[in-house]
Each structure stands twice: as structure tokens, then as C-alpha cells.
Amino acid sequence: MYGSERAGDDAERTAFRKSEKKYKLYYENNPKSSKKKKQPKQVDLSEVLDFKFISELFNQKGELPPGVVHVNCGFERSVFGLENRPGFYFIPGAVTLDEQCKWIRESLANFPQPPNRTNHNVIYGTISNLFAAAKECKIFVEEERSNNDLDSDSSGSVSNGDCGRWTFHEEDIARSRGKTCKLVPASVLLRKLRWSTLGLQFNWSNQNYDVSLPHKKIPDALCQLAKRMAAPAMPVGEEFLPEAAIVNYFGSGDTLGGHLDDMEADWSKPIVSMSFGCKAIFLLGGKSREDEPLAMFLRSGDVVLMAGEARECFHGVPRIFTDEENAEITPLESQFSDEDDRCFLNYIRTSRININIRQVF
């Protein structure tokens, strides 16, 4: 993400990039323990805002740390803002545990389904039933175009529009073709899933929404949840209209660099961002990368709203915590205890999912 790191680079980095580097996951460089599990370097988290603690303190004593305000809006949960970031709202623990599990399942099993687009489209074309294939330990096989049909035991094929097509096969069939074909385990593709899109599709090449691209509407239940969560940031008398969503998937070491979400027509309407899975650090900067960002923890069930001036603020995710001590997913583990949920549990133990929903027009 940062390229080579030469001496003196610190002077050239922006304040935002310095904070990204501060919190990013790095490992101890100890050649003697190369055969042991790599140990992450310790990071100072003393300056990271903890809205779970802030909420508990406010509910018990009515106290708030400097710079944090309580938003009186009649919402069902405590809503907090920042004095120097108007339009930013943080709702700790806003999404119930049952809802978290529902949207984790949907994000893995259904949201990457065509015609929704994912980061895999460019290389592999559309992929159907990726999560099911990973669960069944299937292998994705690329075969050169020919007049011969693929074996009938494949579970579906997709075309990448180029020189070949990809097909899911049972492992033994896939390995027998491995000398002449490219093989990718479905589990690897699932771990390399970085984003999927719902509703109106965003065209990454043109950096705009393309209403001509085929798409499914955002599920009604997710729309209703987003409308409910958006209420504290909405102009009086207006209702949030969910039209597009991007689902981001994070594994250990993954980051989301500092950026702006500025492709929507009306910035007075919030982006509704919901977190699921492992705890993360979120950076909220200012209108320039030179503005030093505030760091805060994001836990499963937390909701962030960014509207108005906050839409002009750089933000990103430099770190997720996947270790047992810091991930804080014990409640999710208890909910995913059935055998049928084991694949969801194995994934979310080392991952974070973020659903952010927008009103485009």
C-alpha cells in the first residue's frame, strides 16, 4: 500500500498516511522464530476513541470525554457525534445480534451472487454460488475453449469473456486436469473476495453509477434497517432512500486506504455504514490528507453515519483485529454454534464485513 519505505519518507507522508502506518498490522522480524507463528508488533492504542466505553460511561454518569457530544434525536440507542466533525454520527451496538448474524450470512452466501458485481469479475467473470463451493471444498478450473463439453459433474460454469471459461469441480476431478488447466480453490477465492455491490452498480472504470448495468434491488429488510439507522442524520421531514450498497470484506492484514465517498449527488443524505465481525480501527480525517485523523474502534453491530460536511472528510480502515484477545466476537461465536453455521463461523473469526448503503440521487 505504501510502496518502499526509505529513510526520510516520514517527512513526505501526509498526516493521514502517518496514522495509517501507525495502526497498520506489522509483524515482529525475528529470524530465530521463523518456524513459529508470527507475532504482531505491539501498537499504542491509548489514543483510539472507544465509543462502547463512552456509551457505558455516559449511561452511568452522564459524562463525556472532550470533543464528544451526545446527539439528542429520540433514537432508540445512544447516538454520539464529534464537535469538530459535523455530520458524523456513531451509534455503538446499534444492530442486534440476530441481525448481525443474518447480514453476515447474506453477505457471504447471497450478496456476491450475479448480477451483483464483485472484485472477481475482472479476472473470472461472474461467479455463482462461491460460498457454497467453498463450503464443499470445490476447485475452480479454467479450461481452454474447445468443442468438447465439460464433464456433467461440474456444478456450474462462468465465462470470463476471453480465452477460457471457469468451472467448479470436485477436488479429485480438478486435480486430474491440473497439468493443463489453471486451478483455484473456491476457499481461496472466498478469502480474496474484497467487495460486492448491491442495488445500483458502481462502474469502477468510469467512477460513477451505471444505471444500465443489470442489478438486483437491495433486499427490503436491509433497506428498512438502513432507513431506521439513518434517521439521526436525515434532514427534518425527509426519509432515507437506499439505492446502492457496497459490501467490503476484510481479512487479517487487509486495509482500506484513506478516501472520500463523493460519487453521490446529494451529500446531505448520509452514508449508512454497518460493521460485522472482528473489531477494527476506523480513521476519520478532515477535508485534507494533511489533517490529522481521529482513530476509533469499530465493533460488530456498530453503525457510522456520514452526512453533510462529514462527507468531505477522508476516512479509512488501517487495521482489523483477528486475534482472540482483541477481535471481540464471542457473542457471534455463540450464535454460530450449529453445525450448519460452521463455515460462517470459520470465516468471521478472522474477518470483518462492512455494509455501507447510499442514496444515489
Res 101: pLDDT: 98
Mean pLDDT of 112-135: 94
Per residue in 219-238, pLDDT tens?
Answer: 999 999 999 999 999 988 99
Res 248: pLDDT: 97
Give the other-Cβ count within 10 Å of 21's Cβ. 16
Res 106: pLDDT: 98
Would you say 90 and 79 are in contact if contact means Cβ atoms under 8 Å apart? yes
Tell which residue, 85, 70, 40, 114, has the closest CA to residue 282: 85
Res 158: pLDDT: 47
Res 182: pLDDT: 84
**CA–CA dist 97, 163 (Å, integer):** 45
Report residue 317 CA to chain centroid gap.
9
- Residue 268, sorted as left (phi over 0), alpha (psi -120 to 50) or beta, turns out to be alpha
**CA–CA dist 85, 74 (Å, integer):** 21
Is the pLDDT score of 205 beyond 90? Answer: no
pTM listed for this prediction: 0.89
Mean pLDDT of 102-131: 95
Res 170: pLDDT: 87
Res 22: pLDDT: 96
Residues above pLDDT 90, as percent of the chain: 71
Res 211: pLDDT: 87
φ, ψ for residue 317, nearest 5 deg: -130, 105
Specify the higher pLDDT residue, 12 or 104: 104
**CA–CA dist 35, 23 (Å, integer):** 26
Is the pLDDT score of 4 beyond 90? Answer: no
Specify the higher pLDDT residue, 163 or 105: 105
Res 35: pLDDT: 54
Res 207: pLDDT: 79
Res 118: pLDDT: 95
Q: How far is CA 302 from CA 77, 108, 143, 219, in A?
A: 11, 19, 44, 20
Res 271: pLDDT: 97
Is the pLDDT score of 10 beyond 70? Answer: no
Task: Quote the mean pLDDT of the chain.
Answer: 89
Res 32: pLDDT: 59
**CA–CA dist 238, 206 (Å, integer):** 30
Is the pLDDT score of 155 beyond 80? Answer: no
Amino acid at 252: S
Mean pLDDT of 239-258: 96
Report residue 70 CA to chain centroid gap.
27
Per residue in 63-84, pLDDT tens?
Answer: 999 999 999 999 999 999 999 9
Would you say 157 and 183 are in contact if contact means Cβ atoms under 8 Å apart? no
